[in-house]
Amino acid sequence: MNYLKINFTLEPNIKEAAEIMMAQLGDMGFESFIETETGFEAYMPNEQFSPESIDNLFIPFDNVKISYTKETIADRNWNKTWEEYYFTPISIGNDVLIRGSFHEPARDVKYEIVIDPKMAFGTGHHETTVLMIKHILETDMKGKKVLDMGCGTGILGILCSMTGAAEITGIDIEDWAYNNTIENCKKNNINNMKAIHGDANDINSSGYDIVLANINRNILLNDISKYSKVLKSGGLLFLSGFYESDLEIINNETKKHDLTFISSKSDNKWMASTYRKE
């Protein structure tokens, strides 16, 4: 699959302006962002792009001048690309290390996750992934049945298995994520996680103890009712992929579906929150 990379330049490069742009672009279908010294790069499948995605951006900063260039990125060996340019190991304290197969093995860490990303996203560098990992580490996963929505490279589901979950299902609408989850499970000797290529309409089971959904605000708002429906009473829902400013609207939607807010974590204005099914 070919991807489109749009390199945004902001003059001056005001971080808050870039974050507002990325939030809007995420709602329009852009899948990942990489910050640069002059702004950021935004990625989405080439065939899904429409010029309106850029024309409809609203930036409440009159003093910021925005320009951009577009580049089509052909399918490639993303392992080599990440090894050469982007992917460095990620540590969450002494608990978790996420690394590529081309990195040195971990020492003195509880859980080591080895991934070979097939796209330029999903490596665990984003704040929301780290926040979700912290929620998982604080949760008793032993014997739990887990659903991981928007599983990406499978990192969260793999960690759930390593921490004792009995059964994990990962679902992602992107074919590269579906295939990569399968490959990364094999790489980490995970035998109790299955992958499904689809979305929330393809959830084919219920009675989950835990549902994870690290996607974006609009998809979460649309699918919270579906997550609640497949959660067992007393089960936990972990949501991320939205900003602190979105928490109220997320909470209002969860209340409609018998979900009680428990706690939240934030980093760089991104948020992950936990809810219990009543």
Q: Are 178 and 195 in contact (CB under 8 A)?
A: yes
CA angle 131, 257, 229 (to 5 degrees): 85
* Digit-coded pLDDT (tens) for 266-277: 998 889 999 999
Q: Which domains does the chain have, with CATH numbers?
A: 3-73 (3.30.70.980), 126-277 (3.40.50.150)
CA distances (Å), origin 48, targets 33, 42, 43, 53: 16, 13, 11, 10
Give the relative orientation of helices 217-230 and 247-255 as an angle to the nearest 10 degrees: 30
- Using an 8 Å Cβ cutoff, are 221 and 251 in contact? no
Structural tokens at position 108: 């003195």
The whole-model pTM stands at 0.76
Residue 57: name the closest of 87, 14, 37, 27 by CA.
27
The pLDDT assigned to 120 comes to 46
Q: Which helix (H) or strand (E) holds 11?
A: strand 3-11
* Beta pairing partners, 114: 99
Predicted confidence at residue 236, as pLDDT, reads: 98
Determine the length of the chain.
Answer: 278
Burial (CB < 10 A; 0-12, 13-18, 19+), residue 247, is middle
pLDDT of residue 126: 77
**Mean pLDDT of successive 10-residue stretches along the chain, which has 278 residues:** 86 84 81 83 83 78 88 68 66 89 83 77 73 96 97 94 98 87 96 96 96 92 97 97 92 97 92 96
pLDDT at position 22, please? 83
